[in-house]
């Protein structure tokens, strides 16, 4: 028998790998997601029924990725205890992002006027189902608002890899085409939903385009 010398550093490395591998492969599987019922599966997307739930939202102006990161930090601060009860609130998935076209601004330059539009991105966390409008801790940050969504039907297109601005735009256009093909008119703006933490391997990531019907 060959004796293998014990190396504390090797043991620590192996333990660390065993700990992080599930997160690298599938993200954070312990994070809750809102429950839904699949009403119909169609070519390219599905229609779901969601129950009511609460959203914590914040509006951020600026580019897509910068707004997502900034909005995430504001909302994460809220659920980490920046609320009236200083109570931690469980993280859920997905993180939602909705881009609204901003108001047109006219800036004076020499020798002409230039027009530009700054997008408004609404970033949202879904609150755990145990909370109601009365029991959810109120945010201290005025940039965070709480809104209750009613039960609704939602069309959902699922895709993997990274939800870059270009990819979200491409999948949103595909969703529009699929709904138009089936004669379905959206009842809301389109939302981008991301379920995984940043370290999840790209081919295992779950992203969705969602729109109310």
Show the CA angle centred on residue 160, arms to residues 80 and 76, nearest 5°: 10
Partner residues linked to 41 by β-bridges? 46
Q: Which fold has domain 30-51+151-213?
A: Phosphorylase Kinase; domain 1 (3.30.200)
The dihedrals phi and psi of 144, each to the nearest 5 degrees, come to -100, 125
Under CATH, which number does the domain 53-148 receive?
3.20.80.10
Q: pTM for the full model?
A: 0.80
Mean pLDDT by 10 residues, the chain (213 residues): 51 44 50 93 98 95 91 96 95 91 48 54 94 97 97 98 95 98 96 91 94 97
Residue-level pLDDT at 100 = 79
Q: What is the DSSP letter of 19?
A: H
Residue 30, by phi and psi: left (phi above 0), alpha (psi -120 to 50) or beta?
A: alpha
Return the domain boundaries, the chain. 30-51+151-213, 53-148
Give the pair of three-digit tokens for residue 178: 């699929």
Q: What is the DSSP letter of 78?
A: H
Say if residues 66 and 118 touch (Cβ distance below 8 Å): no
Residue-level pLDDT at 115 = 37
Residue-level pLDDT at 31 = 81
List pLDDT tens digits, range 96-121. 999 876 544 444 444 554 333 468 89
């Amino acid at each position: 028998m060959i004796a293998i010398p014990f190396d504390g550093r090797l043991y620590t490395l192996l333990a660390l790998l065993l700990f992080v591998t599930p997160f690298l492969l599938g993200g954070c599987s312990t994070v809750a997601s809102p429950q839904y019922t699949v009403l119909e599966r169609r070519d390219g997307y599905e229609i779901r029924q969601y129950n009511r739930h609460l959203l914590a939202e914040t509006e951020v102006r600026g580019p897509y990725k910068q707004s997502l990161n900034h909005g995430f930090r504001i909302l994460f601060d809220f659920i980490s205890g920046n609320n009236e009860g200083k109570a931690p609130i469980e993280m859920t998935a997905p993180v939602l992002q909705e881009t609204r076209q901003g108001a047109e601004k006219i800036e004076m330059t020499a020798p002409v006027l230039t027009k530009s539009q700054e997008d408004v991105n609404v970033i949202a966390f879904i609150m755990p189902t145990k909370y109601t409008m009365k029991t959810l801790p109120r945010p201290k940050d005025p940039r965070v608002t709480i809104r209750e969504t009613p039960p609704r039907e939602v069309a959902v297109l699922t895709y993997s890899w990274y939800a870059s601005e270009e990819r979200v735009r491409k999948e949103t256009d595909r969703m529009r085409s699929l709904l138009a093909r089936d004669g379905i008119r959206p009842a809301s703006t389109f939302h981008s939903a991301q379920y995984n933490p940043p370290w999840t391997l790209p081919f295992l990531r779950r992203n969705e385009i969602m729109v109310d019907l």
